[in-house]
Amino acid sequence: MIVRSTRLKGVLSIAAALTMATGLMGTQLRHVEITIRTPAGVRHEKFWTMRQTVRGALQASHVHYSLKDAISPRLDTMAAASIQIRQAIPVLVDTAHRRLKVWTADYKVRSLLHHLAIRVSPEDVVKPSLSATVRPRTTITVVQRWWERKASTVSLPFGVEHQADPNLAEGKSMVMRYGQNGSERLTKSVLMQNGKPVTERTQTKVVRQPVSEIIAYGTKKLVARGGAVANFVRSIAMVATGYWPDPSWSTGITATGTKAQFGVAAVDPSVIPLGTHLYIPGYGPAIAADTGGAIVGNRIDLCFNYGYQAIDWGVRQVTVYIMAPGAAT
């Protein structure tokens, strides 16, 4: 009976030991999957381990990792069924003011620059592009660009409109509306690149439109002078100035070789041919016998014998009458 009792106790002891061992293995042995991400792709490692922490599980798996890597969960936490590793890679970042060498687990250029607090404006140039994936030792270049703008206001001169007035005698004119200058806003924009200008553009905006001056002029065909009627071919509205052949700067000889004196007019030959006989109200008869560098278009310069006469004449709006060939002046 003693022997049987001893044998029964031994069997019970072995069964208890096996039960305890089986329970211990059930609580410590676990299945773990490690996902390793790199710029080149993704790979998976699966294994069984009795290690309790993430650090221990990684050491048991012989998966290479670095403290620079992004590991989830953290190394000092309990090992989960899934461990994620994003391997850090070295990347160079060049800007206008600094050159950085960083280890990063952000493989997209945009995400990496955001992590480094490098702001990128729409005008900046980033190479490779913001959507590109970086590789180990990739160099990211950020060329900073921005617009500098300067605004100014300039005057817009008014124009002059001439309107025929059949009720106004030829040679007479009247200002019907005085002109007013307008204004225009100019905005000059300069594109700066790393502190240096690379291109510029100018935008204009009219702030106030100019108001044209309106001058009425007579259109009657007859000119009464001394009780007689002058015979003329046509008339031209012109700006008339006065000059005199000052010996200090003038030879006193006109462009046609005649003497510069009262009754000689300087004209633009493309408007009034040289040799044409003229009549100018307020001045009298004249002959187109001279030219001048400033006498272009509808301008005429009337010669006087004395300087004070030219000064008194000043600048006037006149109607110049082209006399018919052979007409007395």
One-letter identity of residue 312: D
pTM over 0.85: no
The residue assigned the tokens 């699966």 is 46
Is the Cβ–Cβ distance between 279 and 329 less than 8 Å? yes
List the domains of the chain with CATH numbers: 26-86 (3.10.20), 89-143 (3.10.20.90), 148-215 (2.20.230.10), 221-323 (2.40.40.10)
Encode pLDDT of 69-121 as tens digits.
999 999 999 988 999 999 999 999 999 888 999 999 999 999 999 999 999 98
pLDDT at 326: 62
Strand segments, DSSP code E, in 60-137 are 70-72, 82-86, 89-94, 99-104, 125-127
Q: Determine contact, residues 84/33, Cβ cutoff 8 Å.
A: no
Cα–Cα distance measured from residue 277 to residue 324, given in angstroms and rounded to the nearest whole number: 8
What is the separation, in whole angstroms, between the first and last Cα of the chain? 172
Q: Which residues pair with 278 in a beta bridge?
A: 286, 322
Q: Mind giving me the DSSP string for 33-52?
A: EEEEEETTEEEEEEEEE---
DSSP state of 72: E
Which residue numbers in the chain have pLDDT < 50? 1-26, 224, 227-229, 328-329
Q: What are phi and psi of 134, to 5 degrees?
A: -85, 155
The pLDDT assigned to 169 comes to 63
pLDDT score of 166: 79
Q: How far is CA 38 from CA 20, 89, 137, in A?
A: 43, 9, 13
Model pLDDT, residue 327: 56
pLDDT at 329: 47
What number of CA atoms fall less than 13 Å from residue 278's CA on the CB side? 32
Distance from C-alpha of 327 to C-alpha of 278, rounded to nearest angstrom: 10
